[in-house]
Structure 1
Amino acid sequence: SLLLPSREALATWILVPQVCSSFAAGPRQYDGTFYEFHTYCLKPSKMNEFLENFKKNIRLQTAHSELVGYWSVEFGGRVNKAFHIWKYDNFTHRTEVRKALAKDKKCEEQFLIPNLALIDKQESEITYPVPWCGPALWGDAFKRALNAHVNRGYSKLVGVFHTEYGALNRVHVLWWNESADSRAAGRHQSHEDPRVMAAVRKSVNYLVSQENMFLIPTSFSPLK
């Protein structure tokens, strides 16, 4: 992640191949809805087995909570990594889901325990959609930089989230691209657009670090 002097961060995630929903940044939300980002690092050679088990038994977990999307990391950072997003109405809702999962013996025996043996490392972040009325120092410049890409058709924005728990002062930006080649073409065009570059130059003044990952949706991912 490229971090900012204000300690804000930007992490960019690329989604393929088709957007079926979006999470646009807008006014500050007043309900308790949040999104939990899970990142699993799998043991070497266990990725296919892990995803196959998820595909076969994911219904056991989605019976309790809402899956937004599930992806494998194609490149950018560590390989053998799975990234998924779950939606909760509030923290009470999440607590109720966790209790229900703990009591669900079928889910535990067929889904959770077999997968735990394949996981090397787990990370969790609680995130909220970024409210453009909220982020002070970096908000306006960041919004202009994103809109410069979106309004000129260089990429499609899926959602913008900021962390509440996990690595603080981090912003996740989810983009959709048809392929890695179309993403590269869009990047090359945007780098030659003076309006885009002017907006980006103002935004990066707040960055401290940045990282990109290219994500491939699984067959059972609601968001594709």
Structure 2
Amino acid sequence: MLVLRSSLPRALAARTLAPQMCSSFATGPRQCDETFYEFRSYYLQPSKMNEFMENVKKHIHLRTAHSELVGFWSVEFGGRVNKVFHIWKYDNFAHRAEVRKGLAKDKEWQEKFIIPNWALVDKQELDITYLVPWCKLEKPPKAGVYELATFQMKPGGPALWGDAFKRAITAHVNLGYSKLVGVFHTEYGDLNRVHVLWWNESADSRAAGRHRSHEDPRVVVAVRESVNYLVSQQNMLLIPTSFSPLK
């Protein structure tokens, strides 16, 4: 925006008083707040999955004493099995650093969870994501199954494909084919990646809704536009654990 020199003091004053504006699809400092979500994926040894899950169930309260757990799921379909996926919420990066420092000093957490469990984990992945400004995190009305759809978009960021992607998602939401839990944009990890978390009553209701949406011309038009910017897509069916806040 071009500001004439004579009007600069007035423009600076207006900027100070006006609320911060958010991009329709942005991350980082363009977000309305600094809250971010850490996506963690653990790949378990096939014979150790049950042992790991029982240990987490027994001791997860030691971890949630330090920061907020959004959800914890096992992967039923999509990609490698014997995998768990969980989301943690942080106020900002200073908050996360404080939490990690506290965990390092928590002897009970280290002895009862970290030491016995790390031997069961083959690999772990971690992404930092922001909830996009045009949606908020929703809680489903009852227990069900979740689908995490991950879209790798073309380089260029939301300025290139954000509006088309939003229209594709809202077309599904507005027509009631699935319940949207949240849309997240990766900040650290593979860039130009968007994660959409959906909820359905069951895997069968999800399949039925998906088939109906594919026959709805309103959805087809919106998706066709977004697909022009799509590189790849992966879907996972997630089963919430008994201790997951999102059931």
Structure ranking higher in helix proportion: 2
Q: Residue type of the partner of 2:91? A: D
Report the counterpart of residue 85 of structure 1 in structure 2.
87
Contact (CA 8 Å) 1:39, 1:123: kept in 2 or not? yes
Residue in structure 2 matched with residue 113 of structure 1 by the alignment: 115
Task: Please state whether the residue corresponding to 1:30 is helix, strand or coil.
Answer: coil
Secondary structure of 2:108's aligned partner: helix
For the pair shown, the structure with the greater C-alpha radius of gyration is: 2
2:147 is the counterpart of 1:124: no
Which of 209, 221, 228 matches 1:198? 221
Query: Which structure would you say has the larger RCO, counting Cα contacts within 8 Å and 6 or more residues apart?
Result: 1
> Could you tell me the TM-score, scaled by structure 2's length?
0.78
Q: Contact 1:68 / 1:222 at 8 angstroms: preserved in 2?
A: yes
Partner of 1:146: 169
Partner letter of residue 126 of structure 1?
I
Q: Are 1:174 and 2:197 an aligned pair? A: yes
Partner of 1:187: 210
Aligned to 1:3: none
Q: Which amino acid aligns with 1:34?
A: F
Answer whether contact 1:69 1:84 (CA < 8 A) is retained.
yes
SS in 2 for 1:137: helix
Segments of structure 1 that go 5 or more residues without pairing to the other structure are 1-24
**Structure 1 residue matching 2:95: 3-state secondary structure:** helix
Q: TM-score, normalised by structure 1?
A: 0.86
Question: 2: distance between equivalents of 1:210 and 1:72?
Answer: 20
What's 2:158 paired with?
Answer: 135
Question: Which sits farther off after the overlay, 34-43 or 133-142?
Answer: 133-142
Q: Paired residues, what number?
A: 200
User: Match for 1:170: what amino acid?
Assistant: R
Alignment of 1:13-162 (within 5 A): 29-132=31-134, 135-162=158-185
1:131 CA displacement: 3.0
Q: What is the percentage of aligned positions where both structures have the same residue? A: 81
What do residues 91-142 of structure 1 show as CA deviations (whole Å, max 9, x unaligned)? 1111111111111111100011111011000000000012359922211111
User: Is the CA contact 1:74–1:215 (under 8 Å) kept in the aligned structure 2?
Assistant: yes
User: For each residue in 1:22-53, what CA deviation from the matched residue of structure 2 results, as whole angstroms up to 9, or x when unmatched?
Assistant: xxx98853321100000000011111111110
SS in structure 2 at match of 1:46: helix
